[in-house]
């Protein structure tokens, strides 16, 4: 098993998401992808949602995840699947990033100076574990939303 970070072999040309596309104007170019792919690229959603994404403490995580979930519901109300999916991705990313900071001191998983060896787990901040749990709950709430699930199923079958 290769424990090195996948970003070391990143193929930008093959990446489905492009920073110069307005995904509200051209939603047909949006791909669901795996996990959080495209979350830090797809505009205007990156700007609309990203400004609320925070996980420093559990209180900040609660406020952030609630605000992002509100955006998620607003996008669903407008039948804007791309916005809803991007909101879901930010909730997921809140969980994964907060967990990384809970698991690893400074949020660093790999040692760049030593051929990207995996660093010792369990050296992180426990406050981040509480923040991660808050984001996890909201992420799963978004994923299980009936309208979102149907829009996602339709989108993946028609567009990808």
Residue by residue, DSSP assigns the chain as ---S-GGGG--GGG-S--TT-BTTT-GGG----STTTTTTT-BTHHHHHHTT---SSHHHHHHHHHHHHHHHHHHHHTT-HHHHHHHHHHHHHHHHHHHHHHHSGGG--EEGGGTTEEPPSS-S-HHHHHHHHHHHHHHHHHHT-HHHHHHHHHHHHHT-
pLDDT on residue 102: 83
More confident residue, 123 or 87: 87
pLDDT on residue 20: 93
pLDDT on residue 126: 82
User: Residue 146 has which token pair?
Assistant: 């009936």
User: Residue 144 has which token pair?
Assistant: 């299980």
User: Residue 102 has which token pair?
Assistant: 């809970």
Predicted confidence (pLDDT) at residue 9 exceeds the cutoff of 60:
yes
Predicted confidence (pLDDT) at residue 11 exceeds the cutoff of 90:
no
HSE-CB for 18 with a 13 A CA cutoff: 10
pLDDT on residue 1: 45
More confident residue, 83 or 99: 83
Predicted confidence (pLDDT) at residue 33 exceeds the cutoff of 70:
yes
**pTM, entire model:** 0.86
Domain coordinates of the chain in residue numbers?
A: 16-158
Average pLDDT, the chain: 88
pLDDT in tens, 90-141: 999 999 999 888 877 766 666 667 666 665 666 657 888 999 999 999 999 9
The whole-angstrom separation of Cα 99 and Cα 6 is: 18
């Amino acid at each position: 098993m290769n424990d090195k970070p996948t970003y070391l072999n990143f193929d930008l040309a093959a990446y489905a998401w492009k920073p110069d596309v307005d995904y509200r104007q051209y939603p047909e170019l949006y791909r669901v992808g795996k996990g959080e792919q495209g979350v830090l690229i797809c505009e205007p959603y990156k700007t609309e949602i990203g400004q609320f994404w925070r996980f420093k403490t559990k209180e900040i995580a609660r406020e952030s995840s609630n605000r992002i979930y509100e955006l998620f519901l607003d996008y669903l109300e407008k039948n804007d699947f791309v916005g809803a999916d991007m909101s879901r991705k930010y909730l997921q990313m809140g969980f994964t990033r907060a967990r990384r900071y809970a698991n690893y001191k400074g949020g660093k998983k790999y040692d760049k100076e030593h051929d990207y060896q995996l660093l010792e787990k369990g050296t992180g901040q426990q406050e981040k574990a509480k923040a991660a749990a808050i984001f996890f709950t909201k992420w799963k709430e978004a994923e299980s939303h009936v309208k979102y699930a149907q829009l996602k199923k339709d989108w993946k079958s028609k567009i990808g």
